[in-house]
């Protein structure tokens, strides 16, 4: 019979060491907050999830946890107390994964290894071997060298039989740095599994600028001429104007550039290959095509972190429509609106764009690997 799989996600930290003005687990890494990235990765494995939050963050954490049907409980003064509170919210038997939300880049493979070990041996602790030389020192002077062959950096998740880790925490007195220490203090033997070096913990200011592993950048550029008798569609928004862009589809120059940027970053063919000038795509809605591109990007193993685009046109003025464009494009890509930036410029009267007979757009997309 398959074990029930549970998770306790610890999101009760602060931004003290990281230099952040808010809880670092609520800051964005890629397209989502650190907490949401963790919930995304754990959700496919778990029957129940509990998020432990600082009392001041309960409301914000609850709104982020709601789509995942995760229960939110208040943390304690220490990590040990917070884990106790999270475990108390779980009932029954099975396996529990305890994870720090400050590790937003945890991989599915690591979670699988932890679960498998816990089911076989009662525990599964993600860890990586120490590879750097380790020295002892006194007052800044090296006094010796430590054998690193049996040294490991502890990570999370750490998986346990739920009943055993609950019992261990009931016995725990004082404060512990991680769950394996509590487990060991109760007389159990923690079992290590292979972690990953990119499962880093967000701790210091430089970590706040971390991008997800294997980030990729793509560039897209598109041009269309203007003519009478066509509706002008830019970024999925209809703009009243005497002329519109000419193309086999609706000729949405901005959306086409965004699509090509996404396809370039994910290693897929461009829109000319995917949506050729055939009857199938005659007068096609480019936002509908963007939805297909987004699906292809996901199937290629990537999520969208951000998109930045520029519209080049003499007329009409785009500024009053940019807010709508950001809303439409972000919705189609399934990312927050603040992750999409759009600007507009002219070519100072140069070329077909400067004469008002055409428009162009360029876009850059940042993707992250879905671990």
What's the pLDDT at 130? 95
Per DSSP, the residues of 59-93 read HHHHHHHGGGT-EEEE--SSHHHHHHHHHHT--SS
Beta strands, E only, the chain: 5-11, 28-29, 32-33, 48-53, 71-74, 95-100, 123-129, 134-138, 141-146, 152-161, 192-194, 216-228, 233-234, 237-238, 243-245, 302-312, 340-345, 358-369
What's the pLDDT band for 208 if we cut at 50, 70, 90?
low
- At 18, is the pLDDT very low, low, confident or very high (cuts 50, 70, 90)? very low
The model's pLDDT over 39-68, given as tens digits with 9 standing for 90+, comes to: 999 999 999 999 999 999 999 999 999 999
Give bridge partners of residue 237 from the DSSP assignment.
Answer: 234
Residue with structure tokens 């927050």?
Answer: 336
How confident is the model at residue 121, as a pLDDT? 97
Read off the pLDDT of residues 279-291 as tens digits, 9 standing for 90 and up: 999 999 999 999 9
What token pair was written down for 266? 């994910």
Cis peptide before 281 (omega within 30 of 0): no
Higher pLDDT: 92 or 309? It is 309
Packed helices 253-265 and 322-333: angle between N→C axes, nearest 10 degrees: 40
Q: What is the pLDDT of residues 115-129, one digit of tens each?
A: 999 999 999 999 999
pLDDT tens for each residue of 168-193: 999 998 889 999 999 999 999 999 99
What does the mean pLDDT of the chain come to?
92
N-term to C-term CA, the chain: 28
Question: What would the mean pLDDT of 213-240 be, rounded to a whole number?
Answer: 93
pLDDT score for 12? 84
- The number of beta carbons lying within 10 Å of the beta carbon of residue 10 is 26
Name the residue with higher pLDDT: 369 or 298: 298
Q: Model confidence over 85-100: pLDDT tens digits? A: 999 999 989 999 999 9
* Rounded CA separation 227/214 (Å): 43
Domains of the chain: 5-209 (3.90.550.10), 216-369 (3.30.1330.50)
């Amino acid at each position: 019979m398959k074990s029930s799989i549970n998770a306790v996600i610890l999101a009760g930290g602060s931004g003290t060491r990281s230099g952040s003005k808010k809880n670092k687990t609520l800051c964005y890494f890629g397209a989502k907050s650190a907490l949401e990235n963790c919930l995304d990765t754990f959700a496919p494995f778990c029957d129940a999830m509990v998020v432990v939050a600082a009392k001041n963050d309960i409301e914000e954490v609850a709104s982020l946890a709601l789509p995942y049907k995760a229960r939110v409980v208040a943390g304690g003064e220490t990590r040990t107390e917070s884990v106790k509170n999270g475990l108390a919210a779980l009932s029954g038997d099975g396996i529990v994964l305890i994870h720090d939300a400050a590790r937003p880049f945890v991989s599915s493979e690591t979670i699988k290894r932890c679960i498998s070990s816990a089911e076989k041996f009662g525990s599964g602790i993600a860890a990586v071997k120490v590879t750097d030389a380790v020295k002892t020192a006194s007052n800044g002077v090296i006094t010796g060298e430590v054998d690193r062959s049996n040294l490991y950096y502890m990570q999370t998740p750490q998986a346990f039989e739920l009943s055993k880790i609950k019992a261990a925490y009931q016995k725990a007195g004082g404060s512990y740095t991680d769950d394996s220490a509590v487990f060991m203090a109760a007389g159990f033997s923690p079992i290590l599994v292979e972690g990953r070096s990119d499962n880093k913990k967000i701790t210091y200011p430089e970590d706040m600028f971390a991008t997800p592993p294997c980030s990729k950048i793509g560039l897209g550029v598109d041009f269309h001429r203007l003519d009478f008798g066509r509706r002008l569609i830019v970024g999925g928004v209809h703009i009243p104007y005497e002329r519109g862009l000419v193309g086999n589809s609706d000729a949405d120059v901005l959306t086409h550039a965004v699509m090509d940027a996404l396809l370039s970053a994910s290693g897929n063919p461009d829109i000319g290959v995917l949506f050729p000038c055939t009857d199938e795509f005659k007068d096609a809605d480019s936002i509908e095509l963007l939805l297909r591109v987004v699906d292809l990007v996901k199937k290629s193993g990537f999520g969208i972190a951000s998109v930045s685009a520029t519209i080049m046109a003499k007329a009409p003025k785009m500024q009053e429509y940019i807010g709508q464009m950001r809303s439409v494009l972000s919705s189609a890509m399934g990312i927050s609106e603040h992750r999409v930036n759009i600007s507009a410029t002219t070519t100072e009267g140069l070329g077909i764009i400067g004469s008002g007979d055409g428009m162009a757009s360029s876009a850059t997309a940042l993707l992250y690997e879905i671990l």
